[in-house]
Structure 1
Amino acid sequence: MGRRGPLTPFVSLADFRAAADLLRPVAVRTPLLPDDALSEKLGTPILVKPEVLQRGGAFKFRGAYTYVARLTPAQRAKGIITGSSGNHGQGVALAAKLFGIKATIVMPTTVPRAKRDGAERLGARCIYHGVTTAERIALANEIQQKEDLVFIPPFDDDTIITGQGTCGLEIAEDLPDVGTVLVPIGGGGLSAGVARAVKLLVPTARVIGVEPEGSPKFTKARAAGEPVTIPANPTGLADGLLAVRIGSRNFEYLEAHLDEVVTVPDGRLPCAMQYALERLKLVCEPSGAITLAALLDGTLRPQGKTVAVLSGGNIEYDGLRALLGDAMPGGTT
């Protein structure tokens, strides 16, 4: 299908590198770790980019810190607020702590304990409301206006996209001959940034988005030619990827740079989490393991050196034990 140009120019390679400079003193430059077992199984080098090791437990710190760092001192002094399913909230809370400012996070009532406790431990004021992105963003906007706070967008914003895209910049710099990059799709900030950064440095690389079968917001948007709202899926395992609508700006990036999008059923996520724990010694939340799930169950066949972004690892022990108790015996092979 034909791809429309952006309404405004996309962020540049210089923008990504400037964000990387901002993040260098505070963020983890996560490594590319070889997955020997999966490489042998698929017949091509497979590596993982473990954003589970990022500060705050997920890639979200990259975008949140970039946004807060670019506010004026007067804006930061007002305090900041956001709506989040959990990981963005922790990223914002950590950025606020590093800058010594106040943060308010509106989270769903269904937020996993690890994400709730993480934001509270970082000193944020946490408010629990609703189960959908729209509900928490609406309340966050209401509080923002009432208290004159600065709103930190979770994904539909060029500055956030630039910060998240430093993950893709690192992939392309560390593996210049990368053939395929797999990235999760939630609201679209990470996938948009990674796709743009990778394509700028390695135009021949294929970038493939992976989203939950029960929340295919970009799959539906691409078919419609524009963002569409899908039914909420509050019981889906991949809680970090359950936005009901792809961001409008993110859609423009993904239409221009994403080669393919695939979906993975919830039932495959515990097996991927178990695989990451046993073979890679990494703890992934369901959202963070979705790219591994796509490789393990044969949803896609990678081409050339392949990097799977493991986007987050914020899951508590009880949740991990409950999910892995449902993993299929032998699911890690």
Structure 2
Amino acid sequence: MIALDDVLDARERVADVARHTPLDYSNTFSRMTGAEVHLKLECFQRTGSFKIRGATNRVRTLSETERDAGVVTASAGNHAQGVALAASRSGVDSKVVMPETAPISKIKATKSYGAEVVLHGIDYDAAQTHAHELEDEEGRTYVHAFDDEHVMAGQGTLGLEIVDDLPELDTVVVPIGGGGLISGVATAVKAHDPDVRVVGVQAEGASTVASSLQKGEPQAVDSVDTIADGIAVRRVGEQTFPVIRERVDEVVTVSDDEIATALMLLLERGKTLVEGAGATPLAALLEGKFVYEDDEVIVPALCGGNIDLNLLTTVIMRGLVDQGRYVKVRTVLKDRPGALNDLLDIVADERANIYAIQHDRTNRDIAMNATEVELDLETRGPEHVDALLNRIREEGFEVTVLNGPRPQ
């Protein structure tokens, strides 16, 4: 397994490429959780992700023969950009295989950093299989996204920055996909202080570590399904798993809805844009997925900020719904002049804002003298939604909530 010396050596290799990203105390999230929360803003890293650290360390350990042959890798996007920039900075040719579903923003960014991009397969694992085929055909060196000791050590430089900036750290919370980041970070922080707790977070739709730990060896899932594409990996790494088993104290999962809420809160309250994977540590903290003490010093590692704008729009809307800030309701009115106005007067009186109205007389499930109305409403929170629904029902309307806030 990698050791502290490997991480220290990596720090020297990546110092001129990877930025020392801020560690920012958050009054907002400290107040919300009761802990002392410091956000590791790795989303401000060059290429928008921690991946530049491991990629640079790996590329700079290539032999001359390997440098001449070039490198190849597979990635959902962040590792792709890291390898592309690391290779370009070192004068090495790079080819990157990305899933066909990769965000267009990450594809364009990878090309802009100098790599040749090949789109193949529906997810990371399919892309990885094709990348290994190119490795054999073209004699390139494969730069693994996580299951490589040099990559793991490079990612561990993030952990060195945390303990340098905050020696009194109690807990660090880190996303897990294949395990490269958490392996490196855990190695660094445990060497600093074995009592520092390391909590790993996976998305529910790509959770492999818990079952792997239970069975004592890496386990795979048939498919992954999560908005956190950066950690959407079917199997934890062979080399990362022993490190996780030895140095990670706890592994928890978060749902996509919880990730969306954390992402939206970071935008609205923290003025910080992260991708789904980057929001998972804060989601785990906000949702109480692990036990912590009052005033415990906790660092969620916000590991990436490369989110596709189309996905961002969807995530924001889901987050607004979950927080009771946006609700869609349906009711049936008598098809007579003024009926819709009576309903809208209630909405206006309760200070909800109408985003959209759908008025349908053709639904076969309602009476001939009735009309179905759907309202998209901007609201102020779950209590406001409850008050609005109660008022509508008190006025004699039957109303169905089509979407609404998660139970508190």
Q: Same fold (TM over 0.5)?
A: yes
Q: What does residue 169 of structure 2 align with?
A: 178
Larger Rg: 2
Give, in whole Å, the separation in 2 of the partners of 1:138 and 1:248.
16
Cα–Cα, structure 1 residues 50 and 40, in superposed 2: closer, same or farther, change >3 Å?
same
1:314 and 2:306 equivalent? yes
Conserved in 2, the CA contact under 8 Å of 1:67 and 1:159?
yes
Q: Deviations over 1:203-258 (max 9, x none)?
A: 1111000001121110110111111111212x421111111111011110000001
Give, in whole Å, the separation in 1 of the partners of 2:148 and 2:53.
13
- TM superposition shift of 1:271: 1.1
Give, in whole Å, the separation in 2 of the partners of 1:331 and 1:23.
44
Give, in whole Å, the separation in 2 of the partners of 1:215 and 1:91.
22
Q: Deviations over 1:141-195 (max 9, x none)?
A: 1111111111111111111110011111111121111100000000000011111
1:215 and 2:212 equivalent? no
1:30 and 2:21 equivalent? yes
Name the structure where strand makes up a greater proportion of residues: 2
Q: What does residue 90 of structure 1 align with?
A: 81
Give the SS at the match of 1:116.
helix
Conserved in 2, the CA contact under 8 Å of 1:44 and 1:305?
yes
1:44 and 2:44 equivalent? no
Question: How many pairs align?
Answer: 323
Q: What does residue 254 of structure 1 align with?
A: 244
Supply the AA of the counterpart residue of 2:301.
Answer: V
Of residues 59, 69, 93, the one that matches 1:68 is 59
Q: Percent identity?
A: 39
Give the SS at the match of 1:248.
coil
Where in structure 2 are there 5+ consecutive unaligned residues? Answer: 326-380, 382-408
Give, in whole Å, the separation in 2 of the partners of 1:220 and 1:278.
35
Supply the AA of the counterpart residue of 2:44.
Answer: L
Correspondences of 1:94-133 after superposition (within 5 Å): 94-133=85-124
Supply the AA of the counterpart residue of 2:211.
Answer: K
Conserved in 1, the CA contact under 8 Å of 2:25 and 2:38?
yes
- TM superposition shift of 1:76: 1.2
Give, in whole Å, the separation in 1 of the partners of 2:29 and 2:278.
17
Give, in whole Å, the separation in 1 of the partners of 2:92 and 2:161.
29
Give, in whole Å, the separation in 1 of the partners of 2:324 and 2:177.
25
- TM superposition shift of 1:282: 1.3
Q: What does residue 4 of structure 1 align with?
A: none
Conserved in 2, the CA contact under 8 Å of 1:177 and 1:202?
no
Conserved in 2, the CA contact under 8 Å of 1:291 and 1:309?
yes
Q: Deviations over 1:249-271 (max 9, x none)?
A: 11100000010010001111111
- TM superposition shift of 1:331: 7.5
Supply the AA of the counterpart residue of 2:217.
Answer: E
- TM superposition shift of 1:196: 1.3
> So what's the TM-score if we normalise by structure 2?
0.76
Name the stretch that deviates more: 258-267 or 273-282.
273-282
- TM superposition shift of 1:200: 0.7
Conserved in 2, the CA contact under 8 Å of 1:81 and 1:105?
yes
Give, in whole Å, the separation in 2 of the partners of 1:179 and 1:271.
25
Give, in whole Å, the separation in 2 of the partners of 1:115 and 1:103.
16
- TM superposition shift of 1:136: 1.4
Give, in whole Å, the separation in 2 of the partners of 1:115 and 1:76.
25
Q: CA RMSD in A?
A: 1.6
- TM superposition shift of 1:11: 2.1
Conserved in 2, the CA contact under 8 Å of 1:172 and 1:202?
no
> So what's the TM-score if we normalise by structure 1?
0.93
Conserved in 2, the CA contact under 8 Å of 1:165 and 1:197?
yes
Give, in whole Å, the separation in 2 of the partners of 1:133 and 1:118.
18
Where in structure 1 are there 5+ consecutive unaligned residues? Answer: 1-9
Give, in whole Å, the separation in 1 of the partners of 2:324 and 2:48.
25
Of residues 276, 301, 307, the one that matches 2:291 is 301
Conserved in 2, the CA contact under 8 Å of 1:262 and 1:299?
yes
Conserved in 2, the CA contact under 8 Å of 1:51 and 1:58?
yes
Give, in whole Å, the separation in 2 of the partners of 1:245 and 1:141.
16
Q: What does residue 393 of structure 2 align with?
A: none
Of residues 288, 308, 327, the one that matches 2:319 is 327
Structure with the bigger RCO (C-alpha within 8 Å, sep 6+) is 1
